[in-house]
């Protein structure tokens, strides 16, 4: 029950973020390079991470993976979603992974089976990316393994549902904003 309450609160915070000041305005032509990367299946994959302002090494924290929509990236999702602001208030970790595309970090997509772009065409294994990223972060920061969530918008919502379907032992909940799942038959 507490997980459903957490997800409901998460969606509420997601929807009211437009009332909070953002750290900077969105400028599509002046995006920065991602801050972090790992190698997954021979491909460099990017992500940004935000720890709570009061992060303490001896404490364990909930974590939310926030997936961007089609033609977006982690930085755009951070600016538009407002999750970083709420992570500081509520003391949880936020991760903004980057999909793939023709560019390494702009105009990116997720392979959500029935959608989208070059990620689908090239059969990119985004489930493995998120799984590997989570395993990597578990070694670096203190994550409460019982409070691991994923959310996304549009193509990111589709990917979030796919990940929750294929990695139920890791993710305790998913919040899909304007997305669907394509391959329910192969859901574990």
Q: How far apart are CA 92 and CA 94, in angstroms?
A: 7
Q: How far apart are CA 76 and CA 61, in angstroms?
A: 24
Q: What is the band of 12 on the pLDDT scale with cuts at 50, 70, 90? A: very low
Domains and CATH numbers, the chain: 2-186 (3.40.50.1820)
Is residue 177 a contact partner of residue 157, using CB atoms and an 8 Å limit?
Answer: yes
Structure token pair of residue 4: 């459903």
Size (the chain), residues: 188
CA separation, residue 29 to residues 26, 48, 110 (Å): 9, 19, 22
Question: DSSP string spanning 158-188?
Answer: HHHHHHHHH-TTT-SEEEEES---S-GGG--
72 pLDDT above the threshold of 50? yes
22 pLDDT above the threshold of 50? no
Q: What is the band of 183 on the pLDDT scale with cuts at 50, 70, 90? A: confident
- Secondary structure (3-state) at 52: coil
Q: What is the band of 2 on the pLDDT scale with cuts at 50, 70, 90? A: low
Average pLDDT of the segment spanning 165-187: 89
Instruction: Give the pLDDT of residue 106.
Output: 86
User: pTM score, two decimals?
Assistant: 0.85
CA separation, residue 164 to residues 72, 86, 127, 130 (Å): 21, 22, 9, 11
Q: How far apart are CA 140 and CA 61, in angstroms?
A: 13
Instruction: Give the pLDDT of residue 88.
Output: 86
Structure token pair of residue 83: 């999750």
**Choice between 173 and 87, residue whose per-residue pLDDT is larger:** 173
Instruction: Give the pLDDT of residue 3.
Output: 53
């Amino acid at each position: 029950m507490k997980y459903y309450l957490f997800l409901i609160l998460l969606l509420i915070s997601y929807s009211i973020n437009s009332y909070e000041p953002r750290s900077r305005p969105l400028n599509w032509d002046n995006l920065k390079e991602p801050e972090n990367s790992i190698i997954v299946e021979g491909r460099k994959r990017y992500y940004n991470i935000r720890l709570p302002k009061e992060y303490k090494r001896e404490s364990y924290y909930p974590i939310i993976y926030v997936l961007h929509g089609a033609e977006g990236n982690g930085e755009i999702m951070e600016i538009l979603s407002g999750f970083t602001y709420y992570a500081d208030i509520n003391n949880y970790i936020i991760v903004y992974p980057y999909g793939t595309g023709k560019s390494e970090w702009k105009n990116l997509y997720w392979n959500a089976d029935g959608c989208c772009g070059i990620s689908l065409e090239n059969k990119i294994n985004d489930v493995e990316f998120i799984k590997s990223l989570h395993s990597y972060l578990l070694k670096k920061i203190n994550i409460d393994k019982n409070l691991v969530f994923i959310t996304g918008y549009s193509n990111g919502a589709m990917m979030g549902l796919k990940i929750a379907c294929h990695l139920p032992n890791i993710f305790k909940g998913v919040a899909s904003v304007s997305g669907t799942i394509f391959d329910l038959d192969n859901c574990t």
